[in-house]
Structure 1
Amino acid sequence: MRRAEEATVWRSLKKKRRAEPPAIAKFDEITLDLSTPCLVVGGRNGAGKTRLLRSITDQLGDDGLLLDLHFLCEQALTVLRSREDFDEMKAEFDVLGPDEDRQDDVQRVIGREYELIAWYALEVEPSDKAVAERFRWGGEQPLLPYFEVQHKGVHYTSREMGLGEFSVHLLFWILEQYRDVKGLTLLLDEPDAYLPPIGASALLVRLLRICLDREWRLIVTTHSSEMIADALEEQAFVLLRTGDEGTIIATHCQDDPTVADTLLTRPPIRHIFFVEDESAWMLAQVLIEKYDRRLARASTVVWGNGSGYMVELQKHFPRPPQPEIVSAYLFDGDKRAEVHESKQNRWPALFLPTESDPDVLFRTLRADVPRLAAKLNVPDGELSRFLDTKEGVDAHDWVNDLGAEYGRQRVLRVLAELWVDTNESTVASFFESLRKAV
């Protein structure tokens, strides 16, 4: 399955989600909509992810399949490494698979092209009766997975595999035991734990394709930032956290797009925005954050001393055909008559809102002293008296003086946030130009 096909899988998820009526279910303190074909559940250790999966499994009964790969891998490898007769034993069994699709899944997730893959289901019962029950896979006889592979001329079996490689084979091997079951909800507890980051993302989309093909539902817990980021992008993420009274709280990313910020490391910088000065820098920061917090996390804003350096960059800084980092120039609004549109092979020139520079915009907030005072956490009277002394002062000096009195970075942030919040319609047109640029 190529990357273009992987994107198709996510589009199929969205279509199915829109077509399904909500199926609200309550599990302990948590309410979830199980109509969606995929839910990715994240949260810090102890947030209740495993408890949630067990609660859902208990309520679903035979319609739920909970797989704890950590436990299953440990138990299977313990048995496999305790005996030396599996090569002889496999001769009594047919090769179970994988078929072409499952082989492609395994290779893509592991990142390895095998010359040979052979899966077996051996009738070997673990000595621990409770463990043996976990290996029945819906049948009467416990079945132990046994794998043979060859890579770059080296032949080895599941006995010699590392945990990451073995866990991927095991997971897809188990799913083949249930390939004829309809209406199943597959619940996976951190199936990516042994995988590198690139493998976790590939695993999720391939599990989702299997579930869509078989009309299953998928609920998976994870700590993988790549898997969480993919689920956020497709609006399939739920965060669990513990409330003040010890209760578990679930928040869907559709209700709060920033819900996973505390779980994700900052992504690599993908966008650079050039602005004229520090006031423009703060206004641009706030505007980008309000437009899309995920975009803001992958962006940096660079400021200099005026627009001159930006004009030179606009003339001479080329835009490659397939850039890894996207740039744009955010000129002050009062430069609209001076700055020309960028040439086709150059980065775009945009303008901050209105036809004024940011300091002029910030000074308009003088008209709402109570709100400005509240944001700065100072008494109305104190702020009003201070601003009275600044009547007639140039906008740039007005902002500088206010910053000197109450802290420059704090003041700039407050002025930018307050202006953006009180000028939504004006800001909307800026968002449209930003959308086209990025």
Structure 2
Amino acid sequence: MTNLRQARLDDHWRTAFKRKYPLFLQNMEFTEGEVFGETKLTLKPGMNAIVGKNGIGKSNFIRAIYNSLKSDSSNRQKFSKLLDKSKIKFDLIISGENCSLELSPFEKNEIEQDILCLLFDPCTLIPEIQKLFVQQENLNELLESFSPNQLSVDELKLANFITNTEYSSIEVINIEDEYESFPMLPFFSVERGEVRYDSRDMGLGELSLLYYFWIVDYIGKSKSNSLLIIEEPESFLPPLIQNRLCDVLAMTLATKGIACLISTHSEHILRKIPRSHVHIMSRVLNRIRFFNAASNIEQMDVLGLTAPKKGLLFYEDEAALFFARSLIKASPLFVSDSFLYHCSGSEGDVLQDLKRFPVSLDEFSFIAVFDGDCRGKMDDQLMDFENYIFLPSALSPEEHLISYLGGIDIVDVANHIGKPIELMSAAIDVAAGSDHHDYFVDIAKVLSIPYEELFSKLCDLWVGDENNSESVQEFIGKLETLAA
């Protein structure tokens, strides 16, 4: 029986970004085209999202991928009109085996591997198929030549959840090989209360959601290595339903192991997708380029797609803030702007804020971030709380980084900061013996860069050091548990 409780759906979201997938579309590279030629995109396992301005070419990019990977079992025919005639090289991992495919969107490609590619693009798809049904003169005779499928209780439960409706019954007739553009096309008849109607009479949003239910069910029952491509699923849908659509998508990925590539303009669609899985499509010097949203937050802001806030982190001072933000950037689920930040002022003030703030509100957590030197000092005061976390080490952030710098090559430090080795060495000599609160301020003055920039870069250097990966993962794991 399908469990649609929010807590279970949240579990599916976590699983979707941690599990292994039988099909992993790693890289794609477009060649020869005037628009997409030399365009490269590197993906993450599972779900990936593409964002970008209107008119940048997302639809044609998506359709070129679909055309290339389409098989006889796909849900619609190839698109005949695309912006250019690029060819695409795909690097994939299928059931643990690496393979490369060089395909053309306009040719019939012979793909030996068992790949099922489906496309859900409601903005163009749904009006087109409704028009087909409305204009079909002998539709009733046509429907009688196919066997109807009555949804089971469990299937009806899922369809009602997706559509936010209470249907008493749904009947689906899969029309095969009748329409040139659609090898298989579902026709829906529904009953709600005492009213019965079908695909011809539905609003576009309702028909879109039922088709989405059908395509998720279809791909979930397939034994093939599956890729679901979705273009602007938010079309015709209010925010609540967009959230439900995404919850069902995460459940499908987590339980069925399908891969998904989705393009969207909606914050609600992106709400639970880690920024490391979001790719910004841009035009640079008349060429299409992709940038990862995790490291290009400003471009997301320009598009009006800010990261959903997962909670408030409250901490002692600036050093703790910079250290925490660097650690968060290493998370696959969050980016640094996934949180709001509040400087409490001291460890005692952090404790007072922990006592006065609630543990959480609706999908928003309050988390105390203590310096590492608070470990073991506050056990009695923290006994009644769980929503707190310690920064790595048993020292304050400044003392911890001073110790770290003493054990690594100054060449690596200078290269990371972007300053000459001689200047970096002189700056460290000037700061020698300073109080740890002043140490990095003194170095920053010699280097002629802001303290904030220096300390943030040094935190990034520590986080990126593979010798510290265990401590980094411990912090991230605790944060994800508290803020998920």
- In 1, Cα distance between the equivalents of 2:404 and 2:26? 47
- In 2, Cα distance between the equivalents of 1:69 and 1:168? 9
Counterpart of 1:3 in structure 2 is 4
Counterpart of 1:110 in structure 2 is 163
Structure 1 position 429 matched with structure 2 position 481:
no
Counterpart of 2:75 in structure 1 is 65
- In 1, Cα distance between the equivalents of 2:475 and 2:60? 44
TM-score by length of 1: 0.67
- In 2, Cα distance between the equivalents of 1:393 and 1:371? 23
Counterpart of 2:436 in structure 1 is 395
How far off is 1:285 after superposition? 2.4
Larger Rg: 1
Q: How does 1:34-433 map onto structure 2 within 5 Å?
A: 40-44=48-52, 45=54, 46-58=56-68, 60-66=70-76, 67=119, 68-78=121-131, 96-100=148-152, 101-119=154-172, 132-135=179-182, 137-138=183-184, 145=187, 147-150=189-192, 157-172=198-213, 183=224, 187-203=229-245, 206=248, 219-223=260-264, 224-228=266-270, 232=274, 239=279, 241=281, 244=284, 258=294, 265-291=305-331, 294=334, 296-314=336-354, 316-317=355-356, 324-336=363-375, 338-347=377-386, 350-361=389-400, 392-400=433-441, 410-422=450-462, 424=465, 425=467, 428-429=470-471, 431-433=473-475
SS of the residue corresponding to residue 62 of structure 1 reads coil
How far off is 1:113 after superposition? 1.2
How far off is 1:275 after superposition? 1.9
- Supply the AA of the counterpart residue of 1:222: S
Gap regions ≥5 residues in structure 2: 32-37, 77-118
- In 1, Cα distance between the equivalents of 2:374 and 2:254? 52
Counterpart of 1:17 in structure 2 is 21
- Supply the AA of the counterpart residue of 1:346: F
- In 1, Cα distance between the equivalents of 2:65 and 2:369? 51
CA distance 1:305–1:73, shift in 2 (3 Å): closer
How far off is 1:165 after superposition? 0.8
Point out the more displaced range, 343-352 or 274-283: 343-352
How far off is 1:293 after superposition? 6.4
Gap regions ≥5 residues in structure 1: 126-131
Relative to its length, the structure with more strand (as a share) is 2
Relative to its length, the structure with more helix (as a share) is 1
- In 1, Cα distance between the equivalents of 2:143 and 2:459? 75
Output one character per residue of 1:265-295: Cα deviation in whole Å (capped at 9) or x when no partner: 3344333333222232222322333355615
Contact preservation (8 Å) 1:319, 1:345: no
TM-score by length of 2: 0.61
CA distance 1:331–1:93, shift in 2 (3 Å): same
- In 2, Cα distance between the equivalents of 1:114 and 1:357? 59
Output one character per residue of 1:43-101: Cα deviation in whole Å (capped at 9) or x when no partner: 42534454444454355442433354333322344456679998x98997888344125
